[in-house]
Structure 1
Amino acid sequence: MSSAASQVILHPTVSQSLKVLGTTLGRDKLYRAAQYFARFLAWYLISRGHKIEGARWNALKSHLALARKLMRLGKPIEHLQAALRAAQVAAEPGEQITTICRQLGYFGYLTYDTLVWANAIKFFNFKPSTAGKISKNANRFWLTGILFSITHGLLKAGRLANEVKKLQGAHLIEKGQDADRDAKLRTLFNARDSTRHQFIIDLLDVWIPASNLGYTNLNDGVLGIFGLITSLMAFRQQWLAVNSK
């Protein structure tokens, strides 16, 4: 029995899971996946008349959302630093501008989101009208950040496609140049895959702030599924990043 327990507890997958959950980003993405699954399930149950069960999942969704806001305290500064770093490096102008604007959008979103959290825990007591404006501004900045991220993805994907085409069409004769080209192509393919991955996440996530602002009327079931998918995609990305070290 003890041998079987040891095999389970010390299994590499368990160790890898603990490693990922030891990071703030890993925990956040797992909590986010649970939050949006709860959002979907609450909608599903309530839409079928199971209000008591639905209320339980709604409560879980709300508490996870609040917990994640606490985990993100201080994160606006990370995005502000990223914007400043992007402004200081030489890069393709369109990609550089969209990167800076994306980071500033997330900075604004998380700054206002901190005020939403402070009001929710009664640290500040804003008037309902003020609290509503703060929440709307948070969603506006969130939407802005995602839209710039989508634009950045399109620009970067186009540039990478052109660079791949040039390399694949190049006729290299000198010894060793073929190996250099293959290495550059692998780097470009990896960058392209990463860009596509983020682009898919953005295309799904953009509907959440858009719906919060009333620009679309997608129900909680659809938004819950979108959020669950992007959370799992981001969690998998973090898993690969942490366990490849």
Structure 2
Amino acid sequence: MATIASQVILHPTVSQSLKFSSTTLGRDKVLEVLQGEKEAAVRWNALKTHLATARKLLRLGKPLEHLQAALKASLASGPVGEQITAIARQISYFGYLSFDALVWINTVKFYSFSSETSTKVAKFAYRFWLAGITLSIINGTLKSVRLAKEERKLKHSKSWGGETDAGREAEQETRLSAILASRDNTRHQLVIDLLDIWIPATALGISNMNDGALGIFGLISSLMAGQKHWQSVNGKK
């Protein structure tokens, strides 16, 4: 019996799950998936609200992470368009999560805003969120175009390069693998952004997507993001 218990407790999947849930992003994505699955059922509205509140609590430290990411992006080298949109995206997410934290403070009654103020705060949060996703889409598009050009150029040089030494060929293969991996990650994030953008757009009245469709989009994007994070924390590509 003890052997069976140890096999279950020490199973690699359990270890990976604990590692995944130990990160803020991992816990956030689990709650987001649970929240999305319940949005279509009216009887789960209270649970949905509490899950949303819990997610906001877990993200209280996230604004500083995005400021750090913005600083790192400003120090990194690369195409100007990609660098500018990367910096602006991180600053937008900083704004979104900062105002979202104020929404949480008002929701849990730690500090109560007037109805008018709370509405304005929520709108600012959605505007920054929409800006961040839009900039992420632009950044992803620019990066995808660049990577596609680099991929074609590298493959062309390989096909017309004639005889090359083993070291040169290995270097080209490594470079091509890096380009393809970066391309796949960029496309993955683009899909997530194209699903997520409808949430703030609808909240701001720019689109009129119904709650059912928003719930499905949110669930899919959460599963995709969660899967990618699972792979990253467990050392998988």
Q: If the length of structure 2 is used for normalisation, what is the TM-score? A: 0.94
- Matches of 2:70 and 2:10 in 1, distance apart? 41
Which of 170, 175, 178 matches 2:169?
Answer: 178
Q: Does 1:214 align with 2:201?
A: no
| Counterpart residue number, 2:17 | 17
Q: Percent identity?
A: 56
Residues 109-188 of structure 1: matches in 2 within 5 Å?
109-170=96-157, 171-172=160-161, 173-175=163-165, 176-188=167-179
- Matches of 2:16 and 2:55 in 1, distance apart? 22
Structure 2: runs of 5+ lacking an equivalent: none
Per-residue Cα deviation, 1:63-89 (whole angstroms, up to 9, x for no partner):
111111111112111111211221122
- Matches of 1:102 and 1:88 in 2, distance apart? 15
Query: Secondary structure, in 3 states, of the residue corresponding to 2:112?
Result: coil
Per-residue Cα deviation, 1:118-166 (whole angstroms, up to 9, x for no partner):
1111111111011000000100000000000000000000000000000
| Counterpart residue number, 2:38 | 38
Query: Secondary structure, in 3 states, of the residue corresponding to 1:85?
Result: helix
**How far is 1:2 from its partner?**
4.0
Question: Which amino acid letter does the alignment assign opposite residue 81 of structure 2?
Answer: G
**How far is 1:4 from its partner?**
3.3
- Matches of 1:25 and 1:205 in 2, distance apart? 16
- Matches of 2:15 and 2:72 in 1, distance apart? 34
CA RMSD of aligned residues (A): 1.3
- Matches of 1:17 and 1:152 in 2, distance apart? 31
Count of aligned residue pairs for this structure pair: 232
